[in-house]
Structure 1
């Protein structure tokens, strides 16, 4: 009974297979005579999206991010693919693929009628399953799965379905492709599209990932291994299934002998060879900015954010094969990275030290370094964070007295004061608040002993509080708030008092209002007690050093597409934020900080004797300290702030740490030293 059923079943399979083979051939050669309207319509619709032009077009490939000198700092991709021309693929690789997948490839015309009938009869008889797809048909299938439908699992399932409609689709498309492309073009397209497990696609990426070589340098055993993988990349993954992979490789070598691609002796030598894989591979680079070096991760992340805002989608960047040359100076960045880590180690609990360096200019403010002691990543135990500490409005406590720059600029612009103007400077004073406020006035005290009155120039160097709150009252808080935005704190002033996007539905003004609105009537603004972006602080210096010209901080030198053609990047035009006279007055006023002001002690200890500008800041509870300055062609911010879940007072020491009852940190003693260390390394013997 069992035997009879088996025979009957095989006969049925045989008849069905012949019918299928005949139908397939008829459908391929004369699709308009199918007589099955639904099938014909489905085939026609599928064929419409598969054309030689589409297949030979832009494939998803790796985007490379580089520094200003063209040195790669990161790669971006959804599929690790590096398309290459035919002459960049070893002939032995093509021969191996043809031998194992489609030995009549050069005689057929997209489909192989003999192969179809052979496979149908063999499968119907109950023999081992045999495929009937030619390399050209496989090209169609892989193009659909790996390119057209790569983000649509449901569509990919249909692309793999063992149905007549799909077979007809592949066959008809294969005939069209064969008529319009040469055999070598078809092989090249196939080898650029096919999957080699995981995120590895295309022969060039596979050659690099598995053997640390390039596709044009593949040896016979290497080519045979890769050719064997395309049948089932998971089953023949050489790292997970080395024995299965070797058997498959040797099978390919035998096929190459049969197909007269190599001789028996060459095959024997190749079979004797070890798999010789890259250790601990496959060697696939990181597909995000988290794979960048510690001094480059935040820069890479900010560059992509900048491009997103300029109209590039994440999908474009991950698949477009662009070369994104950034403005990052690797030497400058490394010097800055070493400086902040010497001040606050990467894994120091609860303390962040960000540093940003910008090149001033009237046409662009190019970012040279954007980093922190923390690294970009997902492991807090290693001092990593996914927040872009130096770029975002991520110093939650503020820059302290650095904000006195804005009060000074507004006063100079309005003609209220110049550098020699004496400013009332009592040790404490209660400044009036808007009517019905509680308390009715804002009490301010100086932290130390100062002259009373004090000139604006001396005040900028030594940073008393009452003098500047009084000056702010003369100018008007709204003008000072506006000046902060004009000089550089654009995103900062658009954020709320938590450094986040305002939440209009909130009843709490600190949440619902941008800082530009929230601080309109708050004299505390000049004391810098609100969240701020370290990047934008550095850009304030760049604006002053550029004669009052504000430009958006720029991380992009150029973008080229996969063919090397320039791609325009939309940017915000520079603008004259303040006049050159106002900017130069501020520059003069800020020039004494390292000589006789709050950073004089640190400058002397560092052996610093170079001209420049500087302004320090310390928040009331010493939870954040800052230094903003610059010299030569470098505008810089160095900020140190509490960034843990339990923020507290910053304490000086080696290293800087969170504590109580300690020697509290100040901008001049904790934020300025990394600046001097970095700039001495950057400027070298000429500092």
Structure 2
């Protein structure tokens, strides 16, 4: 028999015998003791659960703003963040050893002297019973009792009060100390122990009680925290017995003297200090976003929607939420605090928080889909509202991104973009001229509306004197000529407009819209003028696709996601694909410069619905405005090569309510100021002109979905 095997057998025998003696003296009948003891002896010594060698402890995930420093909120079931041993003050390391396992550096995982001491003390009777768990044994119990990969039943078995569990702990502790060194065990223990008041691990505890990192703990603070581990739920000085916490601190200090870590003078001085706490709490979930930045809650909620849809974090929503709240991710979001602040400021310059009409606004980065800002004139709060006002002034409904009960808002003439793109893709040039009368009767049947002429849809221009006549895509889009785009859709097919909108990311959340998109798109004439509900986020991203010259990117709330080991999580970056030929997108942009007061590359703009936008921004810009019948909604969309903004004014509690006072001019100014502030330090980039073939029709435009 070799020496290693002999050593292993001897160690097992000693542990089993000592454990058996202790357990027999305390609680266990002799026959059962012999059975358990023998079974533990013959169990394979080297079979350690993988969790003990490679622990997966529940850790807090933190969501930061795009600067990587500003914390938006955290997500956790156990507030814990692992730190290296070097980031923990030496006095804290010494204090926990003195408090919980003074012979930590001299035993091999099981403290035989401690076992005998407990046996003698407990055998003499009395109410106080002594334990004999070493730091290593406690670590084993904590790991198996909190491992997020185990079932609730498995975790309960790891912490049950039973003799079998105690023997397993001893055996695992002996084996573990042959695999990893003392410093690593100490580090792991300090990062997994519970210190009360919801703080798991020394980093969370140091912040919870003293608002400082564990490297800065003083002797008195370290002794107090070390003393809490024994009875964290009762001795907690915040919610429990502060006197007991102080007394326990004194015990730890004396143990540190015994250990030789400090002098008696140091212990007396620290013990004489008052228990001075400087408490702080880590936010948990979107409802805990700091009050000064409560508007970030809408972005945070949408981030969770995105997370719950990512297969990188699990196969089900439940698994993905468990990963978020226990996985220790560091998430740098796409939310820019400066742009967000400006966006909220501009939104509130149009409507205050109490106005019945909301102004949800989204800012998106073309070419990545990253959402830079999401703001609305509402308080992100669960507080109750007055009767009949479910979304005013408080709400957590996704007014900007949509979802749940929020289907969106009609976007009016901004949807003309999709018909223009469909026509360009079909080979029609920007110079396509169509006679646009005040009113036109279409071939699409309609009923129950004022825009019906003999049962057929017959839309009209809002300002005939300014809009009527022969128009091109440049002047038709610039002056927002309804009859031009209705006739254009008749030529190319409205179903192609619907498909184009879906291709650029418009989601039909309203059930009636979804049905028409699937079964009635070819006859959905009013779609051309924006009767379908949408959201500012979808609309901004659709226009951002055109800004990115035909590259669509799925809306994205993050810049980076790293796991608890600091490794990037695959599949969490931009998800982009080409959905339009670049020349088609460039042509649409050339026409979209007209509504906002810019000039096309071919100098064909002649009037726009929002000319002041370019004057305020003073850089190349494209976009569109829109309104609906009765002005129930007012819309402004604008984009540069770097950013796209969409803002929709509507009453979310009554989306069909007509507006009393139009605010579109204010919205145009607000959108311009958002772009100006966000792009202040960025170069003034121009748009690439489209080819002559697609602009003027001087050649075949080709298949718009293929090539570049």
Q: TM-score, normalised by structure 1?
A: 0.82
Other-structure match for 2:191: 192
Aligned counterparts of 2:578 and 2:158: Cα–Cα separation in 1: 58
Are 1:673 and 2:689 counterparts?
no
Are 1:598 and 2:609 counterparts?
yes
What is the count of residue pairs matched by the alignment? 630
Structure 1 position 201, deviation (Å): 0.8
Describe the SS at the equivalent of 1:471.
helix
Would the alpha carbon gap of residues 157 and 56 (structure 1) be closer, same or farther in structure 2, given more than 3 Å must change? closer
Describe the SS at the equivalent of 1:547.
coil
Aligned counterparts of 1:171 and 1:557: Cα–Cα separation in 2: 46
Query: C-alpha offsets along residues 294-333 of structure 1, whole Å, 9 cap, x if unaligned?
Result: 4544444444443443322232233333322333333222
Retained in 2: the 8 A contact 1:73–1:296? no
Retained in 1: the 8 A contact 2:344–2:375? yes
Structure 1 position 230, deviation (Å): 0.4
Retained in 2: the 8 A contact 1:559–1:569? no
Other-structure match for 1:398: 410
Other-structure match for 2:620: 611
Aligned counterparts of 1:319 and 1:629: Cα–Cα separation in 2: 40
Query: C-alpha offsets along residues 343-367 of structure 1, whole Å, 9 cap, x if unaligned?
Result: 223x325332222222323xx3433
Retained in 1: the 8 A contact 2:58–2:78? yes
Query: C-alpha offsets along residues 533-577 of structure 1, whole Å, 9 cap, x if unaligned?
Result: 322211222222222232323333333333333332166753332
Retained in 1: the 8 A contact 2:559–2:573? no
Other-structure match for 1:162: 161
Aligned counterparts of 2:213 and 2:276: Cα–Cα separation in 1: 15
Q: Which runs of 5+ in 2 are unaligned?
A: 1-16, 27-31, 314-319, 386-391, 598-606, 685-708
Other-structure match for 1:272: 272
Are 1:59 and 2:57 counterparts?
yes
Other-structure match for 2:255: 255
Would the alpha carbon gap of residues 40 and 289 (structure 1) be closer, same or farther in structure 2, given more than 3 Å must change? farther
Aligned counterparts of 1:83 and 1:421: Cα–Cα separation in 2: 67
Are 1:339 and 2:346 counterparts?
yes
Are 1:389 and 2:408 counterparts?
no
Other-structure match for 1:445: 460
Query: C-alpha offsets along residues 614-633 of structure 1, whole Å, 9 cap, x if unaligned?
Result: 21111224232211121352
Choose from 342, 361, 369 the match for 2:373.
Answer: 369
Query: C-alpha offsets along residues 137-177 of structure 1, whole Å, 9 cap, x if unaligned?
Result: 1111122223358872x554443333211111111111112
Aligned counterparts of 1:511 and 1:635: Cα–Cα separation in 2: 25
Matches within 5 A, 1:432-471: 432-433=444-445, 440-450=455-465, 451-456=467-472, 457-471=474-488
Retained in 2: the 8 A contact 1:360–1:634? yes
Retained in 2: the 8 A contact 1:407–1:472? yes
Structure 1 position 206, deviation (Å): 0.9
Would the alpha carbon gap of residues 423 and 283 (structure 1) be closer, same or farther in structure 2, given more than 3 Å must change? same
Choose from 629, 633, 637 the match for 1:620.
Answer: 629
Q: Between 574-583 and 396-405, report the one with greater CA deviation.
A: 574-583
Matches within 5 A, 1:5-404: 22=21, 24=23, 36=35, 40=39, 50=49, 54-74=52-72, 75-127=74-126, 128-147=128-147, 152=152, 154-240=153-239, 241-278=241-278, 281-288=279-286, 290-291=288-289, 293-294=293-294, 296-311=296-311, 312=313, 313-345=320-352, 347-361=353-367, 364-374=368-378, 376-379=380-383, 381=385, 383-392=393-402, 394=406, 396-404=408-416
Retained in 1: the 8 A contact 2:553–2:574? yes
Retained in 1: the 8 A contact 2:546–2:589? yes
Aligned counterparts of 2:55 and 2:433: Cα–Cα separation in 1: 68
Aligned counterparts of 1:575 and 1:357: Cα–Cα separation in 2: 20
Query: C-alpha offsets along residues 110-141 of structure 1, whole Å, 9 cap, x if unaligned?
Result: 22233223323433433212222222211111
Structure 1 position 64, deviation (Å): 2.9
Aligned counterparts of 1:94 and 1:358: Cα–Cα separation in 2: 48
Aligned counterparts of 1:403 and 1:368: Cα–Cα separation in 2: 23
Describe the SS at the equivalent of 1:342.
helix
Query: C-alpha offsets along residues 415-458 of structure 1, whole Å, 9 cap, x if unaligned?
Result: 456345133323364643299x9973224233333443341322
Structure 1 position 518, deviation (Å): 4.7
Would the alpha carbon gap of residues 327 and 140 (structure 1) be closer, same or farther in structure 2, given more than 3 Å must change? same
Would the alpha carbon gap of residues 419 and 392 (structure 1) be closer, same or farther in structure 2, given more than 3 Å must change? farther
Would the alpha carbon gap of residues 105 and 414 (structure 1) be closer, same or farther in structure 2, given more than 3 Å must change? closer
Aligned counterparts of 1:414 and 1:322: Cα–Cα separation in 2: 47
Retained in 2: the 8 A contact 1:468–1:526? yes
Aligned counterparts of 2:519 and 2:358: Cα–Cα separation in 1: 28
Other-structure match for 2:691: none
Aligned counterparts of 2:331 and 2:24: Cα–Cα separation in 1: 49
Aligned counterparts of 1:434 and 1:337: Cα–Cα separation in 2: 40
Q: Between 142-151 and 115-124, report the one with greater CA deviation.
A: 142-151
Retained in 2: the 8 A contact 1:297–1:375? no
Retained in 2: the 8 A contact 1:146–1:194? no
Retained in 1: the 8 A contact 2:55–2:143? no
Q: Which runs of 5+ in 1 are unaligned?
A: 1-17, 28-32, 499-509, 652-661
Would the alpha carbon gap of residues 521 and 242 (structure 1) be closer, same or farther in structure 2, given more than 3 Å must change? same
Aligned counterparts of 2:140 and 2:635: Cα–Cα separation in 1: 59
Choose from 654, 657, 662 the match for 1:649.
Answer: 657
Q: TM-score, normalised by structure 2?
A: 0.80
Other-structure match for 2:698: none
Other-structure match for 1:540: 542
Aligned counterparts of 1:511 and 1:599: Cα–Cα separation in 2: 29
Aligned counterparts of 1:470 and 1:229: Cα–Cα separation in 2: 77
Find runs of 4+ consecutive structure 1 residues off by over 6 angstroms: none
Retained in 1: the 8 A contact 2:95–2:226? yes
